[in-house]
């Protein structure tokens, strides 16, 4: 299972798995959210980053106890891993951009269509 976050390296964890460690600062369970792709890849991201997506934001702030908020993980059976990965990258890029750093977000052309559809879905 590979989760990649920008600015971070891949680590070789135990049993050949590569895990991602969060960026600087402690990462508590309450601050994070697990996004699971169609193939079962798990991406652990900051809640703040995830909330860039309006859909995820609504999900988390909705009254009533949906199962996602209970368990802190969201499954996207219709979003592939590559796309989800790109989306996570977008989250962090977006946060950086909002704080002033103007860098370019590169999109591989072959991903475009699916990325747009996913973005539409996630209202990002």
Partner 1 sequence: MSDQKRRNFQIEAFKHRVVVDPQYADKTWKILEHAIHEIYNHNASGLSFEELYRNAYNMVLHKFGEKLYSGLVLTMTTHLKEISKSVEAAHGGSFLEELNRKWADHNKALQMIRDILMYMDRTFVPSTHKTPVHDLGLNLWRDNVIHSSNIQTRLLNTILELILRERTGEVINRGLMRNIIEMLMDLGSTVYQEDFEKPFLEVSADFYRLESQQYIECCDCGDYLKKAERRLNEEIERVTHYLDAKSESKITNVVEKEMIANHMQRLVHMENSGLVNMLLDDKYEDLGRMYNLFRRVPNGLSTIRDVMTSHVRDTGKQLVTDPERVKDPVEFVQRLLDEKDKYDMIISLAFSNDKTFQNALNSSFEYFINLNARSPEFISLFVDDKLRKGLKDFSEEDVETVLDKVMMLFRYLQEKDVFEKYYKQHLAKRLLSGKTLSDEAERSLVVKLKTECGYQFTCKLEGMFTDMKTSQDTMQGFYASQGAEIGDGPALVVQVLTTGSWPTQPSPPCNLPNELSTLCEMFRSYYLGTHTGRRLSWQTNMGTADIKATFGKGQKHELNVSTYQMCVLMLFNNADRLTYKEIEQATEIPATDLKRCLQSLACVKGKNVLRKEPMSKDIGDNDAFLFHEKFTSKFYKVKIGTVVAQKESEPEKQETRQRVEEDRKPQIEAAIVRIMKSRKVLDHNNIITEVTKQLQSRFLPNPVEIKKRIESLIERDFLERDNADRKSYRYLA
**Interface with partner 1 includes 106 (CB under 8 A)?**
no
- 97 HSE (CA, 13 A, CB side): 12
Which of 88, 83, 80, 100 shows the shortest CA–CA distance to 53?
Answer: 88
What kind and span of H or E run contains 46?
strand 42-46
What kind and span of H or E run contains 112?
helix 112-122
Q: Name the one range near partner 1 by CB under 8 A: 2-10, 22-30, 57-65, 97-105.
A: 57-65
Of residues 6 through 35, those in contact with partner 1 by CB under 8 A are: none
Beta carbon nearer to partner 1, 19 or 47: 47
SS3 33: strand
Shortest Cβ 4–partner 1 spacing (Å): 20
Which residues sit at the interface with partner 1, rule CB under 8 A? Answer: 38, 54-55, 58-59, 61-70, 74-78, 80, 109-110, 112-114, 116-117, 121, 123
């Amino acid at each position: 299972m590979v989760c990649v976050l920008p600015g971070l390296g891949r680590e070789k964890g135990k049993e050949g798995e590569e895990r991602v460690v969060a960026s600087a600062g402690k990462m508590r369970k309450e601050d994070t959210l697990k996004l699971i792709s169609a193939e079962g890849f798990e991406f652990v991201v900051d809640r703040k980053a995830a909330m860039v997506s309006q859909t995820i934001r609504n999900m988390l702030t909705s009254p009533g106890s949906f199962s996602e908020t209970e368990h802190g993980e969201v499954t996207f059976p219709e979003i592939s891993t590559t796309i989800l990965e790109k989306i996570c990258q977008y989250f962090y890029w977006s946060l950086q951009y909002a704080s002033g750093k103007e860098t370019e977000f590169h999109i591989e052309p072959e991903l475009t269509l699916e990325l747009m559809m996913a973005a539409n879905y996630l209202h990002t």
